[in-house]
Amino acid sequence: MPIFAVHYTYSDATVEGRDSFRPEHRAWLNGLIDAGSLLTSGPYPDGSGALLLFQVADEATVEQLLVQDPFAREHLIDDVRAVEWLPVMGAFAS
């Protein structure tokens, strides 16, 4: 099954909202991990965004999942880039 790298971009204007909705956002992420759709995720240390790695059937599935993110619902993500990723070495390589 393909892996998709999703890059979120955040701005300083959404810090307060992200702080407020972070528990709900992380509960949503944990549910995806439990379901086997999300491999890992985490913010960039500089606060500019986050990386999420999904393993799902296709890009349409990723898009369906992303609209359910509380951060997306609350308009706390400035930009989203989702691309299929092909790991050739390491922990996620086939």
Q: What is the pLDDT of residues 22-77, one digit of tens each?
A: 999 999 999 999 999 999 999 999 999 999 999 999 999 999 999 999 999 999 99
Q: CA 25, 29, 35 angle in degrees (round to 5)?
A: 145
> 50 with 41: CB under 8 angstroms?
yes
For residue 31, the model assigns a pLDDT of 98
Domains and CATH numbers, the chain: 3-85 (3.30.70.1060)
**Alpha-carbon span 1 to 49, nearest angstrom:** 26
Contact 3, 91 (CB under 8 A): no
Position 94 scores a pLDDT of 79
pLDDT computed for residue 8 by the predictor = 98
